[in-house]
Structure 1
Amino acid sequence: MANSCTFLMGEDKKRKLEEGIGDLRRKKRKLSRMHYGDVPFIIGYAAAEARFRWFWLGSDEADVLDLSKDRSDDDRSDEYVKQHLLTEPTPTLPQSRNALDASLKSSTSIKLPVTAQCYKRVSAESPTLAKQCLVSTDGSHLPAFLSHYILESPSSASTEMSVTLFVSPALQAVFNLLDKFSGLRLNCKLTFNAAEADTSCRAVAVGKRPDTPGMANSCTFLMGKDKKRKLEEGISDLRRKKRKLSRMHYGDVPFIIGYAAAEARFRWFWLGSDEADVQEVGEELDIGKLVDRVTLLQNMVFVYRLVVQMARTVPQMSGRLPLFEKLERHSGGTVLILDNGMRKSIPDFERYSKDYETSFDAVKRAYAAAKAAAKEAAAQGRQPFMISATTGPQLEGRRKTYLVETTPLGYYKEPSTVREARALALACCETARVLHAEGVVHRDFRLPNVVCLGPCTSDEDSLGTEVGTSGGNDEDLAFLVIDLEGAAEEGAEVTPDCGLALASRDGVLDENGTFTAASDMFEIGMLLQSILRQLGAYHGESKAFVRALKRKELSALQALDHPWLRGLGN
């Protein structure tokens, strides 16, 4: 927009360019002569993956004309990637800051394919730079983008957003183009702080989320911080937001990549496995200078190759949750995965309470009990067995939006041994013990609501960061019960309309249609029966334990003292 009129419309799609073109045609409106006068058209574009088209959007509603040729058939970008950008095998991961620094600086030997026009303009300004760092090619997608970035000096950094919009989209474009034309299929997702009022930004407490997190294989491998003026502030924020790398999630990956940008200044960082290990690498760049924009693009190609190797190196976890990604819940709420836990939001909690037949008071009491239990477990050198809140729970605004931030962050893992099944049962029974002592029931002991933390032994970061280390055996794993938003007063009546569908689960409710502490134990029994049958271990003492739970013969305390569980948590 300019002078309060729209002069450009763009449609971006994840995969199909045709969908973007269709949306552009659908959203196009007739140009009002009162507002536009003699302006005969506005500019439109559609983009998907590495494909891009310009459009004439004329004064009539149906006047939409394609102005550019789709070059997907004769594009030579894949050839240029293999010849000039990814000519060597994927590098081994540097094991120290100095090794990364040297590798990043050596990336200036990469020759960037650019258009003939770009090569000519750079040669006129710096013949040596053009000869050493560029190669003249045609106007295929990859060289066209690289040429535009090299020749286009950034606008003045009037806001953090203007800095973000010059750095972050370039990273995403380089990663996407290399993905498309190299065949490596990293599928790295970069998320940008699109606006101060954007929900994806405001959904995280201040100081929790980097401006540009880059994720692949559901792990964060890149963190960026953009500032309006002082690079030092961006560096400080990067240090503050850095967390210790969990070996359970990152394995032998010794570092992730960081950057800070302000005005035209840019700096890369080594973000090591320890929380305080934040060190500068590479040269400080001035992206207002053509030569440094060339260097930045060369660095980005190298960083892409590093992230490919990182994504291949991390332990494979089918239940790993994607960091900083918002997940929709069937209840109508959302969950945002943070680096050390989750942030839950449920709009109109009063309606949610009616639909799920609970109350804010019951949920708040459940979290209060969980917090005390976490402190008790930490004092004993054990992992927590139930989720606890770092912020909230609380209700905000006229619509009573429910908000809570929880810790720690686990991952979904179905028990694969009897020992793991016992560890899961221990977490469930301990959670039931804590809640029942407060007159509250969980009401939703199902496999999706129990996550794995890693080793049973707690470390100093277990309440503040991702927990666990790699290399543990089956006997070490600890589990954590989550999702306390379904908790309710013990003995409350449950109707067939309850969102948890408790009335439809045979045997859960008592003869009066109420959900009691024994109902929780019944659910735990049903969960264990399913797991043990899949393991072929539903017999003997395990079968006797499950039957006692399903018959509602055991309280939580009695279950913890049963021979099948006794001593497991010590």
Structure 2
Amino acid sequence: MLHWGMDSIIRIPLQIFHENIGGGILPIEMDRNSKDQGTTTIGNKRPGFLCWTNNNELEEKFNKFDHMYFGNIQFMICYAAAGTRLRFFAIDGSPNTNPPSRLVSLSNQLDVNNRRDRVSILCIVVNIARIIRTVNNTIPEMIIPLGKRLKTEKSMITILSDSVEKRVSVEYLPFAGNLDGRINFLSGMYEYAKGHPGLVQVKEGPSVSRQGIYKVVLETRGHVCQLSNEDEARAMSQNVLTGLNWLHKGGYVHRDIRLPNILFIPGDADCKYVLIDFEHANVDGLVTSERLKDWDNKTLTEHNEYTTQSDLYQFGKMLRDLDMVNSEAGRKFLDGLRDKSINIQNVLHHEWFR
């Protein structure tokens, strides 16, 4: 790699501190965009390395700090390198900073071939470690690898600064026997969900490439849903069931109600949780012979139909598995979903939501 020597003199001391002090006190993770040749990094906003690189691109890579991914961090420590020379900077991410003053120099120009400069670099790295330790409480717990393709079991997810791109080989796309019909169905469903709370919002509708790759670009960005108490479970339920209710009114069923298919949207006071991943969806009442892994013998009707009631049953099953709904009203709610006495017309009027 072009700056391997410089990376090492910065990376190795930080890694030693991380291993000996403990990750909880010095939370760092090493990563480099090995494919960065200038325009690549700007395009997907993925930084070049840990404290992160290239003088001409620094401000373009971090033209704003999105609290969705950066938390309450007000600055980013970085370095710019050219040949054997480098210089450390801080990018001021506070909202009132004018662009000309965003890049703040933290050091003079240093040369790794100069012994005294190498000592200076090590001293700066020690101070960086001290800074990381000081701001530890403001660093987000979840690391979001912007611009990096994340491979799941059957899909590829790329999280960008303003969208999320999902790709699936058509061989893994459910109900793709009639591919054109399936794409039209999913396009209609994503379009139907537009503007409605509790549902993922699409930026670019579904399409299939010549290579047989299904692609959809989503406007909704968020974090993995992690609940810690009944109040949070109630808020999530109200948001997601609001979205699910709208889908059901349109004749759609989701069919894959699971916690991984629910996102938490920080900073959204009105709707903090949304239901995502429509790719397993279909019409209400479809007879099916194949079952998803989270279904059980009560999911389908006696005629093997997946209905709106099946969605509610699966939602209740997911809530029970969380094991955090313990109030009397909450237990009644779970019982009603399990015995299917609660339906889409009355689910949001249950006493648990009052």
Q: TM-score range by the shorter chain?
A: 0.7 to 0.9
Match of 2:243 among 431, 452, 455: 431
Cα deviations by residue, 1:133-152 (Å, 9 ceiling, x for unpaired): xxxxxxxxxxxxxxxxxxxx
Residue 429 of structure 1 and its aligned partner are, at CA, apart by 0.9
Matching residue's letter, 1:303: I
What residue in structure 2 maps to residue 474 of structure 1?
A: none
Distance 1:225 1:196, change over 3 A: closer
What residue in structure 2 maps to residue 296 of structure 1?
A: 121
What residue in structure 1 maps to residue 201 of structure 2?
A: 388
Pairing 1:245-260 to 2, within 5 Å after superposition: 245-246=67-68, 250=71, 253-260=73-80
TM-score using structure 1 length = 0.52
Cα distance in 1 for partners of 2:7, 2:282 equals 45
Cα pair 1:176 1:187 within 8 Å, conserved? no
Match of 2:107 among 264, 283, 286: 283
Residue 423 of structure 1 and its aligned partner are, at CA, apart by 0.9
Cα pair 1:333 1:344 within 8 Å, conserved? yes
Match of 1:559 among 344, 347, 352: 347
Cα deviations by residue, 1:90-134 (Å, 9 ceiling, x for unpaired): xxxxxxxxxxxxxxxxxxxxxxxxxxxxxxxxxxxxxxxxxxxxx
Distance 1:534 1:565, change over 3 A: closer
What residue in structure 2 maps to residue 115 of structure 1?
A: none
Distance 1:510 1:308, change over 3 A: same
Cα distance in 1 for partners of 2:330, 2:15 equals 51
Matching residue's letter, 2:277: D
What secondary structure does 2:352 align onto?
coil
Matching residue's letter, 1:271: D
What secondary structure does 1:256 align onto?
strand
What residue in structure 2 maps to residue 175 of structure 1?
A: 14
What residue in structure 1 maps to residue 61 of structure 2?
A: 238
Cα distance in 1 for partners of 2:288, 2:42 equals 35
- Residue 404 in structure 1 maps to residue 217 in structure 2: yes
Cα deviations by residue, 1:332-364 (Å, 9 ceiling, x for unpaired): 223345566644332x22433259999333433
Match of 2:170 among 335, 349, 363: 349
Match of 1:508 among 296, 299, 321: 299
Distance 1:507 1:372, change over 3 A: same
Match of 2:285 among 473, 488, 491: 491
Aligned length: 343
Distance 1:326 1:363, change over 3 A: same
State the structure with bigger RCO (CA 8 A, min sep 6), 1 or 2: 2
Cα distance in 2 for partners of 1:392, 1:177 equals 46
Cα pair 2:264 2:274 within 8 Å, conserved? yes
Cα distance in 1 for partners of 2:198, 2:304 equals 29
Cα pair 2:173 2:279 within 8 Å, conserved? no
What secondary structure does 1:564 align onto?
helix
What residue in structure 2 maps to residue 134 of structure 1?
A: none
Distance 1:551 1:356, change over 3 A: farther
Cα distance in 2 for partners of 1:256, 1:171 equals 15
What residue in structure 1 maps to residue 187 of structure 2?
A: 364
Cα distance in 2 for partners of 1:321, 1:450 equals 18
- Residue 518 in structure 1 maps to residue 309 in structure 2: yes
Match of 2:145 among 306, 323, 342: 323
Residue 426 of structure 1 and its aligned partner are, at CA, apart by 0.8
Residue 172 of structure 1 and its aligned partner are, at CA, apart by 2.2
Cα deviations by residue, 1:254-296 (Å, 9 ceiling, x for unpaired): 4332334445453411333438573313134253762545433
Residue 371 of structure 1 and its aligned partner are, at CA, apart by 3.3
What residue in structure 2 maps to residue 414 of structure 1?
A: 227
- Residue 193 in structure 1 maps to residue 15 in structure 2: no
Residue 175 of structure 1 and its aligned partner are, at CA, apart by 1.7
Cα pair 1:239 1:276 within 8 Å, conserved? no
Cα distance in 2 for partners of 1:364, 1:205 equals 30
Cα distance in 2 for partners of 1:323, 1:300 equals 23
Matching residue's letter, 2:293: A
Cα distance in 1 for partners of 2:280, 2:96 equals 35
Distance 1:404 1:454, change over 3 A: closer
- Residue 307 in structure 1 maps to residue 138 in structure 2: no
CA RMSD of aligned residues (A): 3.7
Cα pair 2:75 2:90 within 8 Å, conserved? no
Distance 1:525 1:535, change over 3 A: closer
Distance 1:282 1:391, change over 3 A: farther
Structure 1: runs of 5 or more not aligned = 1-160, 215-221, 374-383, 459-476
Distance 1:457 1:206, change over 3 A: same
What residue in structure 2 maps to residue 542 of structure 1?
A: 330
Distance 1:225 1:416, change over 3 A: same
Cα distance in 1 for partners of 2:347, 2:35 equals 51
Distance 1:372 1:250, change over 3 A: closer
Residue 412 of structure 1 and its aligned partner are, at CA, apart by 2.9
Distance 1:511 1:239, change over 3 A: same
Distance 1:316 1:259, change over 3 A: closer
Residue 551 of structure 1 and its aligned partner are, at CA, apart by 4.2
Distance 1:369 1:289, change over 3 A: farther
Cα distance in 2 for partners of 1:275, 1:516 equals 51
What secondary structure does 1:344 align onto?
strand
What residue in structure 1 maps to residue 53 of structure 2?
A: 225
What secondary structure does 1:519 align onto?
helix
- Residue 335 in structure 1 maps to residue 148 in structure 2: no
Cα distance in 2 for partners of 1:412, 1:340 equals 19
What secondary structure does 2:265 align onto?
strand
- Residue 207 in structure 1 maps to residue 52 in structure 2: no
Q: Indicate the structure (1 or 2) with the bigger Cα radius of gyration.
A: 1
Cα deviations by residue, 1:5-47 (Å, 9 ceiling, x for unpaired): xxxxxxxxxxxxxxxxxxxxxxxxxxxxxxxxxxxxxxxxxxx
Structure 2: runs of 5 or more not aligned = none
What residue in structure 2 maps to residue 142 of structure 1?
A: none
Q: Percent identical across equivalent pairs?
A: 20
Cα distance in 2 for partners of 1:344, 1:275 equals 34
Cα distance in 1 for partners of 2:189, 2:36 equals 33
Cα pair 2:222 2:266 within 8 Å, conserved? no
Pairing 1:100-139 to 2, within 5 Å after superposition: none
- Residue 441 in structure 1 maps to residue 281 in structure 2: no
